[in-house]
Structure 1
Amino acid sequence: MLLNHRIARPDMTAEDVEMWRTLVADRSGLFFTDSRLYFLGQRLWERMRQHNLASYMDYYRYIMLDRNGEQEWAALLEGLVNNETRFFRHEPSFAALRERVLPQLWQQQQAQNGLNLWSVGCSAGQEVYSLAMLLLETAVFPPQHIHITGSDISGSKLAQAKNGRYRHFEIRSLPEAYRRKYMREYQQGHDQLFEVRSSLRQITEFRYLNLQAPEWHTTTQHDVVFCQNVLVYFSNETRLKILQRLCERITPGGYLFLAPTDVVSLRLPGMRPVYFPDALVYQRVAHTATEN
């Protein structure tokens, strides 16, 4: 029997805050600032009610000691990760990629035999499929030379990304012409669904990745990396480590796209800022230090 949903969420003590901040940061790298503690408390309380646990300490012990603790941690993490996204979310970045970056990469001999892109924190796949549509539309590179990888920490979002199926509200930002060309519309019960066509599936793949993990198990070099609206959830120290590791996986001459809200005034070894209107972009100009 679940706890009464009308029972008010208990306040988090300073000890509760420190305990949960530490656990979440150690396991996922996510850092909750004071301004986001309410969100953290809400997500904890939602899971606590599922298990009839009335205190944050009891829930902590459940995750740490119960035989189902790992499964519960995965469920909690799903709620802590902000998966809000949409197709072509940051238009200035896509404009820079379409109008400037792709033509420049085509002129570089090493990119003409294949173009590798990586969407970090891809959520349910909207960014990956947006990149795929843009590349197919611009036709700078032939489809057989394009490979786009999406990675995320959320198992449920990766499953949706692999399925490539979306409800009508999830494709609200997708241009009508793209929807007709790259989506198959069908009815499932009372739901109107849209599924990506094979032309997008053939050039995309999805993988699980915890950015905080000691090893990333990927040595692929990428010509373009999109890491937008992801770094804002990490501490400054973790953010810099992630960026350094991302830069190591970018080919010389390749590009890193960040969200303007993610990072301000960071100097990245081997990278130089490139000006595009309303976009935050770096280009790799030299090899970075050896991976940590």
Structure 2
Amino acid sequence: MQPSGAWALKPLAEMSPTEFRDWQALLEERTGVVINEQRRAFLQTNLSARMRELDVADYSSYYRQVTDGPRGAVEWSTLLDRLTVQETRFFRHRPSFDVLQRYLRARLVTDEQAQPLALWSVGCSSGEEPYSMAICAAEVLRELESARQFGVTGTDISLSALSKAREAVYGARKLEQMDTDLCERYFVAQEDGRCKVVPDLAARVCVARLNVLELAKAPQAGMDVIFCQNLLIYFRRWRRREILNRLAERLAPGGMLVVGVGEVVGWQHPELEPVADERVLAFTRKG
């Protein structure tokens, strides 16, 4: 017999202050993500759900399990998927994609180089953002009748989210903010009512695992566009600036960085200039 949804979501017990601090420290040390007091219930619920599956009775025992060598590393990866997958959809913040299309249009008109455009979605979750970026690029190239190539890279820490991104099949609700003609051009309806990204567009998008605390090791460089939205809110202020500084270094001259509105305040970089659009937080690299 399956437990009811309400039972499954009920935490096993209250976390002690010590247990909560231990889990907070582990998450921040390994991912940079800060779980504050307001998100304590979220942490308890997700830990409890996994602990029930494993028949582990208390938070301290489970903590020991996920920090126990190679076996712990496997369990940590499973748990991380529960704690980091974010709800998202196509064209989630429309002004960001308006700015992207405007930028790509200007870039293609003035840039005589022929190398493919390189775009990067940092914290891509289940793929809605990188595919939205790819649709923008494809639309601009179509409009300008340009033969220029492009590629979009999506990176995330969650293996299950990346698996969904590779599958590229989405429920109709995820496409609600898209124009009908774009849905028809870039998706194929499936028998179960979901929609699959067309092969030509899917071939332009690749996804890979990356912990943003390890950006220094990331192979991406000379990027024309970087999106980093709805990710920095989970980090401490100093860490947000550190991440943005790393991303700024990965931009090509003239490249654009788009950040979630309100996710960072007062950050500046000597090589970057703000984009003059009050609806977005975006910067272009000088040169």
Do these two structures clear the TM 0.5 threshold for a shared fold by scoring above it? Answer: yes
The 8 Å contact of residues 136 and 143 in structure 1, kept in 2 or not, is answered as no
Residue 229 of structure 2 is aligned to residue 216 of structure 1? no
Q: CA RMSD in A?
A: 2.4
Q: Deviations over 1:238-264 (max 9, x none)?
A: 212211111110012111001103112
Residue 109 of structure 1 and its aligned partner are, at CA, apart by 3.2
Unaligned runs of 5+ residues in structure 1 are: 287-292
Residue 101 of structure 2 is aligned to residue 87 of structure 1? no
Residue 110 of structure 1 and its aligned partner are, at CA, apart by 6.4
Helix, strand or coil for the counterpart of 2:217?
coil
Change (3 A) 1:262 1:218: same
Q: Out of 69-78 and 9-18, give the one that drifted further.
A: 9-18
The 8 Å contact of residues 149 and 206 in structure 1, kept in 2 or not, is answered as yes
- Which of 135, 148, 152 lines up with 1:148 in the alignment? 152
- Identify the residue that residue 237 of structure 1 maps to in structure 2: 238
Q: Deviations over 1:106-140 (max 9, x none)?
A: 25536553311111111111111111111111224
The 8 Å contact of residues 156 and 210 in structure 2, kept in 1 or not, is answered as yes
Change (3 A) 1:66 1:220: closer
Q: Deviations over 1:208-255 (max 9, x none)?
A: 111112643314210110100011111222212211111110012111
Helix, strand or coil for the counterpart of 1:220?
coil
Q: Deviations over 1:172-228 (max 9, x none)?
A: 3332211111111121xxx22211112212322111111112643314210110100
Residue 167 of structure 2 is aligned to residue 163 of structure 1? yes
- Identify the residue that residue 59 of structure 2 maps to in structure 1: 56
- Identify the residue that residue 18 of structure 2 maps to in structure 1: 15
Q: Out of 16-25 and 36-45, give the one that drifted further.
A: 36-45
The 8 Å contact of residues 275 and 284 in structure 2, kept in 1 or not, is answered as yes
- Identify the residue that residue 289 of structure 1 maps to in structure 2: none
Residue 92 of structure 1 and its aligned partner are, at CA, apart by 0.7
Residue 30 of structure 2 is aligned to residue 32 of structure 1? no
Helix, strand or coil for the counterpart of 1:268?
coil
Change (3 A) 1:214 1:157: closer
The 8 Å contact of residues 85 and 158 in structure 2, kept in 1 or not, is answered as no
Helix, strand or coil for the counterpart of 2:212?
coil
Residue 149 of structure 1 and its aligned partner are, at CA, apart by 0.9
Helix, strand or coil for the counterpart of 1:213?
helix
Unaligned runs of 5+ residues in structure 2 are: none
Compare the two structures and name the one with the higher helix fraction: 2
Residue 78 of structure 2 is aligned to residue 75 of structure 1? yes
For 2:16 and 2:259, locate their aligned partners in 1 and report how far apart those are by CA, in whole Å: 35
The 8 Å contact of residues 126 and 164 in structure 2, kept in 1 or not, is answered as yes
Q: How many pairs does the alignment contain?
A: 282
Change (3 A) 1:214 1:161: closer
The 8 Å contact of residues 273 and 283 in structure 1, kept in 2 or not, is answered as yes
Change (3 A) 1:143 1:183: farther
The 8 Å contact of residues 115 and 148 in structure 2, kept in 1 or not, is answered as no
- Identify the residue that residue 276 of structure 2 maps to in structure 1: 275
The 8 Å contact of residues 2 and 52 in structure 1, kept in 2 or not, is answered as no
Helix, strand or coil for the counterpart of 2:29?
helix
The percent identity for this pair of structures is 33
Helix, strand or coil for the counterpart of 1:68?
helix
State the AA in 2 paired with 1:273: P
- TM-score normalised by structure 1 residue count: 0.88
- TM-score normalised by structure 2 residue count: 0.90
